[in-house]
A and B are shown apart, each in its own frame.
Chain A
Amino acid sequence: MKEYSTPAEAVDAETTVTLTVNGETRQLAIPPNVVLLDALRDRLGLTGTKKGCDHGQCGACTVHVDGQAVNSCLKLAVMCEGHEVTTVEGLASDAGLHPVQQAFLEQDAYQCGFCTPGQMMSATALLEDERIGTDDAAVREAMSGNICRCGAYKNILAAIQSARGQSPSAQQESENP
C-alpha cells in the first residue's frame, strides 16, 4: 500500500472560502481538501446535488459555476472563492418550477430521481449554449456525461426538447423580436 505523505495538520488547517450559492453569499471555514460537492451537501445542507461516483464519471453532481455545467466532485470548494454556484435548489423560483423541471415532470423524465438534479443542471446549461445543436443527436451527445441507470433517456430527451421552446433564453427571444 502507498505511504500517505500529506502531513496531518496540513490536511486539517481550515481556510475561509466565500462563494455565492443560489444567489446567496455563503462563507465557509473548511480544510483545503473539501470537495465542492461535499461542501454543498455536508456543510451547506444542499443535498439536492448527488454523489454518484465521486470521480467525474457519472454526472449526478453537476452544478453550474458561473453558468457553466461542471462536475462538483472534481472541484475543490476553495477553487470557487468568489464564484457563483447554482444547484438544483436554485432552479425553481417563486413563480414555480423552472421550465426544465416542469418538462421533466410532464415527460416522466426520471425514475428513481437520483441522477435527475444532474440531468437538469446539464440540460439547463445546454439549452443556453449556442454551440450545441438543437437536433436530438446533438442533445444526446451533449447529455452523455450524465448517466441514468434507470434508463429514462428517451423521456429526458423529450423533456429537454419540450423545454426548449420555453427555456429562459427562448422566452427572451420571443419577447424581444
Chain B
Amino acid sequence: MDTQIIGHRTPRVDGEFKLTGRADYAVDWQAQNMLYGYPVPASIAHGALEKLHLDAARAMPGVVDVFHHGHFPRLYRSPNSPTHQDQVSEVRLPFEDERIHYDGQYIALVVAESFEQARAAAHAVQADYRQESGVIATLLDTDQEGRLLESEGTSRGDPEKAFDEAPVKIDHTYHIAAESHMQMEVHATLAEWRDERLIVHESSQGVVYQHKAMARIFGLPDESVEVVSHYIGSGFGNKLFMWPHAVATAGAAQMLGRPVKTILPRQQDMENGGNRPASRQRLRLAADRDGTLLSMLHDSTTETSFVHSYVDSLGSATPSLYACDNVAISQRLLEVHHGTPCPMRGPGETSGIYALETALDELAAELEMDPLELRRRNYADQDPASELPWSSKHLDDCYTGAAKRFGWERRDPTPGAMRDGDEIIGWGMATASWPGLRMPCAARVELRDDGSVLAACGTQDIGTGTYTIVAQTVAELSGVALKDIEVRLGESTLPAGPLSGGSMVTATALPAVAAALRNAFDALKEVATGEGGAFEGIDPESLEIEGGALKDGQGKRVSFGEILSEQKLGSVNGEGQAASGDEKGQYSFRSFGAHFVEVRWDPGISRLRVARVVSSIDIGRAINPSAARNQVEGSIVMGIGMALTEKLDYDPRDARLINNNYADYIVPCHADMPEIDVELPDNPDYAFNEFGARGVGEIGLTGIAAAIGNAVYHATGKRIRDLPITLEKVMDT
C-alpha cells in the first residue's frame, strides 16, 4: 500500500494536551460534592484480622465513614471470564472476610471530606491480628515445587530421550525476582452514582472489561455502568483488569450517596496493584557438535497469591523460536503470601525468553561457537509449533542488520578479552519475539458538516500513541487533514474495543476504524447521489474519495462538508466491525527481532553499566514510526532495569514488602541511559491486516535482559543466573 500518512513520522495528536497539563487522567477528575477515600493496608501477610480500632479515626475532623468487613455493601463476585470480558485482577471482593492473604491487603477504607483528612484518619486506624506461621515470601525463598498445570504443557518428539543421547548439552536453572510495573500514575478510581447508574473514572487499560466486571459485581444491567479512561499514566499490564480498590470505592460511593475518589499511595500501589511474578526456570538444551538443536526442555514455575490464580505462561514462545524436533514445556504454579501478580509488559515470554536466550548463550560457549551463529544454525523457516508458514518473518535480516551496525564481527569470544582503559567490555546478543495478536473490534466514524471527522472506539491510549494512529488511519483513507480529525477513546459507552495489552491494539482497532469509515463514506454517497444531492442520479459506486471530498469521473469534486450542508445534514455515521478470518488457519503470526548489547565492567570501582544497545525489531509496518521506535527504546530502558536493578524485596521472615517506593525499588533514570540505536525494518504484514502492522508495545522487552546478562558473562566470565544482576553478585560469584 502506497501511503501518505501511515508509515510516516507523525507528532502525537494528543501531544498538546499532554504538554500543557490539559490531558484528563483519572486522578485529575473531580466531581461535585466529592469525598476522598484512603485505604488502610494490613501490616501482616498471613493470618486474620481480629479487631479494628476505629473510634479515633471516626472522631477525626472531616471523616464521613470507615468501611471494613461487616460494614460494606453485600456484592457479588465477578465471573472473571475472558470470554465474557469481565475478568478482574482479584476475584476476592474487598472486605469479604477477615482473612489476610498478603501484606498490604485492604482492611478498611476511610472516607473523608478532604484528602488530608482521609490520610490522617487512615493513619489513625489500628488493628489487632492473629498471625499464622508458615509464611512463604516468594518462590525464591522456598524449595516447594508448586502444582503442575497440565493445560500449560506441550510437547513434540521425544525430548527426554534426545537430551540423554545428545553429545553436547547444558542443564541450568534461572531465577527472576518479582518486578513492579512502577507506572507513573498509581491506580485511581473516582466512582459516582447518578440515578442508579455507576460512573467510574479509572486509570484503566480496559474500560470494556471494567465496565462488565462492575456490572456483575454490583448486580446491574450493563447499560447502568460507564467507565472512562481518557488518558492513563501508563500501566504496563497492571491496569488491564480491575483491582479491589475500585470496588471498595464504588461501594463506598453507593452507601454514602456521594462521589468518592481513591488514589492509592505509591506504597499500596506496589503492594496491591500487581507485579510480574518471580520465576524459576530449568532449561535443558542439547545439540549436535555442529550446533544443530536436538532437544529443548523448558520447565517453569511462577508464583501467584492465595486469592487469585494468575499464570504467567513462561514457555509459550519456546516451541516456536527455533527449528528443533524434540521440545517440551511445562509450567507449575506456587501460591505465596504477597500481593497478586498480573501481566507485566510481555507477560510470560519476557521471562521465558530471558531463560531460553541465556541458555542458548551457555550452549554456544559449550560448543565454542559464536552465539549468533548458533541461532542462525537453528533458524525456523516455518513455525515449528504449528507447522504453519510464517505470515512474514525477516529475523535473518534483523540479525544481519543489527550485527553489522553493532560491529559484532570484531567480537573476541574469550570472556574478559576486550578492554578499554580500566573497563572490561562485554558483548552479548539475544533474539526478541512476541506473537501477532488480534481481537474482534467495533468502531464508529462520523463525517460532519464542518468538514471534520470523529472516530470513536472503546479502546485506550496508554501512551503508545493510539489516538494518533487512529487519526492517521482516518486521514490516510479520507484525505481529511489530521487537525480536522477528532479521536475518542477510553469510554465504555463507545463501540467495544480491545484491552490495551498484548501489543494488539494497532492490528485490532485500525481495521475496525477503516470499516466504520468506509460505511460512513457509503452513507455520504447515498446523501450525495440522492434527490437534491451534489451528485444526484450518479451511481454511488463510481464516486471516489479524495482529499476530504467526493469526486466523479468528470472531475467534479465536492467536499464532505458541502455535501452534508447542502442537504441540511449535520453528519452521517458509519459503524464498523473487524476481526481476523481464515488467515489464522493459514499462517503463524509472530514478530521477531535481535538485540546486541555492550556492557562495561570496571572492576576497580565495581561499576557495571550498559553502554550501548543496537536492535533491529521487525513489527511489520510501523503506523507511526516515531511512536513505534519510542516503544522499543522504552522497552530497552525497562529491560536494563529488569537485568540489573529491579527486584521486589519481600522479607523472607514475614513476607512484607521492604522496598515499596521509588527510592528503594530502582528503575533506570536519565543517567543510566546507554546509546540506543533501534531500527524498525519496514516489512508490512498484509496477511495479518490491511495495514500490515503487528504491534510494538512488548517485543522490545523480550530478549534484552538475556542480551545484557550474556554481555556480563562475556565481560566477567561469570554466569549469573538470577535477575537482577546486582553488583554483589558480580563481585561474589
Contact = CB atoms under 8 A, between A and B. Distances in A.
**Bound pair: A and B?**
yes
A113 B126 contact: no
B650 interface: no
Contacts of A46: 21
B627 interface: yes
Contacts of B181: 149
A37 to B, nearest CB: 10
Interface of B: 11-12, 14-25, 27-28, 30, 43, 56, 59-62, 114-117, 120, 123-124, 126-127, 181-186, 231-234, 236, 263, 265-266, 462-465, 626-627, 630-631, 633-638, 661-663, 667-671, 673, 676
Contact of B662 (A41, A49, A147): A147
B673 A153 contact: yes
A144 B14 CA distance: 26
B671 A12 contact: no
B335 to A, nearest CB: 27
B20 A92 contact: yes
Contacts of A92: 20
A95 interface: no
B20 A89 contact: yes
Nearest to B677: A154
A9 interface: yes
**Is chain A's binding surface mostly helix, strand, loop or mixed?**
loop
B637 A151 contact: yes
A47 B184 contact: no
A48 B661 contact: no
Contacts of B23: 113
Given A105-B19, A111-B234, A38 B115 contact: yes
Contacts of B43: 1
Nearest to B634: A151
A155 interface: yes
Question: Which of A42, A141, A146 has the most B CB atoms < 10 Å from its CB?
Answer: A42
A111 B184 CA distance: 11
A112 B266 contact: no
B669 A144 contact: yes
Contact of B21 (A1, A49, A149): A49
A144 B631 CA distance: 20
Nearest to A30: B116
B15 to A, nearest CB: 5
B184 A151 contact: no
Contact of A52 (B464, B662, B673): B662
B184 A149 contact: yes
Contacts of A87: 21
A51 B673 contact: no
B313 to A, nearest CB: 24
A101 B23 CA distance: 14
Nearest to B61: A12
A110 B673 contact: no
Contacts of B114: 31, 42
Given A42-B115, A108-B12, A111-B463, A149 B22 contact: no
Interface stretch (A53-61, A127-135, A163-171): A53-61
A91 B204 CA distance: 29
A88 B633 contact: no
A97 interface: yes
B20 A48 contact: yes
6 contacts: A4-B120, A58-B662, A88-B19, A149-B638, A150-B630, A151-B638
Contacts of B663: 55, 57
Interface of A: 1, 4, 6, 8-9, 11-12, 31, 33-34, 38, 41-42, 45-55, 57-58, 60, 87-89, 91-92, 97, 101, 104-106, 108, 110-117, 120, 139-141, 143-157
Contact of B266 (A54, A116, A155): A54
Contacts of A157: 670, 673
A1 B231 CA distance: 37
Given A52-B185, A141-B670, A154-B633, A149 B234 contact: yes
B633 A151 contact: yes
Given A54-B265, A108-B626, A114 B234 contact: yes
A33 B60 contact: no
Question: Which of A1, A87, A139, A145 has the most B CB atoms < 10 Å from its CB?
Answer: A1
Given A57-B663, A114-B234, A154-B633, A33 B671 contact: no
B21 A97 contact: no
Given A51-B27, A58-B662, A112-B233, A151 B668 contact: yes
B181 to A, nearest CB: 8
Contacts of B671: 140-141, 144
A33 B120 contact: yes
A110 B61 contact: no
A50 B185 contact: yes
Nearest to A105: B15
Contacts of B633: 151-152, 154-155
Given A38-B116, A48-B21, 10 more contacts: A1-B126, A8-B120, A11-B60, A42-B115, A52-B184, A58-B662, A88-B21, A105-B11, A149-B183, A149-B236
Contacts of B668: 151, 153
Nearest to A89: B21
A166 to B, nearest CB: 15
Contacts of B670: 139-141, 143-144, 146, 153, 156-157
A139 B19 CA distance: 20
> Which 5 interchain pairs have the tightest Cβ spacing?
A48-B21, A151-B637, A112-B463, A114-B233, A113-B18
B613 to A, nearest CB: 10
B610 to A, nearest CB: 13
A45 to B, nearest CB: 8
Given A31-B116, A106-B11, A152-B630, A114 B185 contact: yes
Nearest to A119: B670
A141 B60 CA distance: 44
A147 B265 CA distance: 17
Given A51-B263, A108-B627, A112-B234, A152 B634 contact: yes
B16 A154 contact: no
A117 B463 CA distance: 15
Contact of B16 (A41, A54, A97, A147): A97
Question: Which of A89, A108, A140 has the most B CB atoms < 10 Å from its CB?
Answer: A108
Contacts of A55: 266, 661-663
A108 B463 CA distance: 11
Contacts of A150: 184, 234, 463, 630, 634
Question: Which of B22, B116, B124, B633 has the most A CB atoms < 10 Å from its CB?
Answer: B116
A145 B663 CA distance: 11
Contacts of A153: 637, 668-670, 673
Contacts of A1: 43, 126-127
B273 to A, nearest CB: 13
Contacts of A38: 115-116
Question: Which of B17, B18, B263, B667 has the most A CB atoms < 10 Å from its CB?
Answer: B18
B542 to A, nearest CB: 41
